[in-house]
A and B are shown apart, each in its own frame.
Chain A
């Protein structure tokens, strides 16, 4: 309907953004009716997301004609930003930003590097940056889920953790079941995406490839390739993240710093 009223592509995009944001706000208001207050966070997230994607889109337009090495800086910047975003999900955990950034760098960074070297990801800037950003974004979400779950589990089971410590367990061993549960839980979205590929959803990348003239079978196979890479990057990120964070919630004397109602010292 909108495309019948608005013919200019830029204005059409803005009109579509307004409609989609209104829909999101309607859901936020519905949540408010149930006394769940997401207004502030949702509005800021939407404005921020729109500004960021327009800015990055414009930057990409400029960079498309730049040298290939610029993609390294772009992806490194994305990793740091992803570390900051998912680190905020576990803000009262000591060193969450550093852990998140390292984990995403190890997880997404190593998969991007290896896959580019093997030729699975084309090293052209127009291919490397969008595919790389998909891996980083998914690694960020997985990392956020893992840290969040780990934090809640430790807070809920501080008694069990300290009992294990009191019985002479090593600090890392005392939280091992919770680190494992966090790792498993954080990979559920990536696993479900792989499982439901083509049945529940046909991702945008495949649609984009079809629109740009790729053969449908190749586009489909490449979609699987991307999701498998996302799973690998997310899994590695979560693994590194849960390994690193479990050492950070203890003092050097193996005392649990993350306690209910107590800010870490």
Chain B
């Protein structure tokens, strides 16, 4: 578990957040605060609503109850494109766009009419341990490398909060430990706020200060990672 100073200011707040589709409850009455610089893990078994919760936070799905506040603003008041840039999502599978690594990294800033400078590109690649990969075709990357590009692509948007959806679960053991170390470095060096969804409680304990246990879409336990994950 990382021990870093955490600001008291709340950057992300979920209030009675829920989503029901037909008669299926995906997420129900989820409440939490995430402070600046904090890493909060969301753990739980498959189908417990972890990924559904993350989709709601990124507003890829619409809540049927409750809402989310980003820096005190109800996220329904924030244009979806701006919101999604602020809450950068890294998915379980990297879903890289056909082309080169650099084209993938440029994608986010280009959506705002910005161009990544060469220095920024090199810095981003260095941060994820992929120096010299800029011109590589993404079709030729390993699973671990692809996930690193995916993390880097999200970081290129300078998000306020990083939403990590099982970022290592689709990887083999070697790649998994490499990507986890990378995340640890990013968290430690940049102090970026994260919401980490994982079914791996050991990983949650290594990376997060606080944890939330979901079961059937509801919060079963919440608190410090040490208390919650060892309960």
**A residues neighboring B (CB under 8 Å):** 159-160, 162-170, 173, 251, 253-256, 262, 265
Contact = CB atoms under 8 A, between A and B. Distances in A.
A178 B120 CA distance: 30
A259 B154 CA distance: 23
Which 5 A-B pairs rank lowest in CB-CB distance, beginning with the nearest?
A: A163-B95, A166-B89, A168-B85, A167-B108, A168-B111
A159 B60 contact: no
A253 B62 CA distance: 8
Contacts of A173: 111
Interface in B69-88: 76, 80-82, 84-85, 88
A162 B60 contact: yes
A159 to B, nearest CB: 5
Given A168-B85, A170-B81, A254-B81, A163 B91 contact: yes
Given A166-B154, A167-B84, A169-B111, 5 more contacts: A166-B60, A167-B157, A170-B81, A255-B59, A255-B60
Contacts of B60: 162, 165-166, 255-256
B135 interface: no
B81 A169 contact: yes
B193 interface: no
Contacts of B16: none
A34 B60 CA distance: 41
Given A167-B108, A168-B81, A169-B81, A265 B157 contact: no
A26 to B, nearest CB: 43
Contacts of B88: 166-167
Contacts of B157: 167-168
Contacts of A163: 89, 91, 95, 97
B61 A167 contact: no
B221 interface: no
21 contacts: A159-B91, A159-B93, A162-B91, A163-B89, A163-B95, A164-B97, A166-B88, A166-B91, A167-B107, A167-B111, A167-B153, A168-B82, A168-B84, A168-B111, A168-B112, A169-B107, A170-B111, A253-B62, A254-B81, A255-B59, A255-B61
A254 B153 CA distance: 20
B58 interface: yes
A265 B21 contact: yes
A251 B55 CA distance: 15
A168 B61 CA distance: 15
Given A167-B153, A255-B61, A160 B97 contact: yes
Contacts of A255: 59-62, 80
Nearest to A174: B111
Interface string B88-117: 110101010100000000011001100000
A227 to B, nearest CB: 34
B21 to A, nearest CB: 7
A162 B58 CA distance: 10
Contacts of A164: 97, 107
Nearest to B58: A166
Nearest to A251: B62
B107 to A, nearest CB: 6
A165 B84 contact: yes
A173 B111 CA distance: 9
A155 B95 CA distance: 14
A129 B28 CA distance: 59
A167 B93 CA distance: 15
A253 B80 contact: yes
Contacts of B58: 166
A262 to B, nearest CB: 8
Contacts of A162: 60, 91, 95
A167 B95 CA distance: 12
Given A167-B108, A255-B60, A160 B95 contact: yes
Nearest to A169: B111
A168 B91 contact: no
Nearest to A167: B108
A159 B81 contact: no
From A160, A163, A168, residue with most partner B Cβ within 10 Å: A168
A165 B55 CA distance: 12
From A165, A166, A169, residue with most partner B Cβ within 10 Å: A166
A160 B88 CA distance: 15
B109 to A, nearest CB: 9
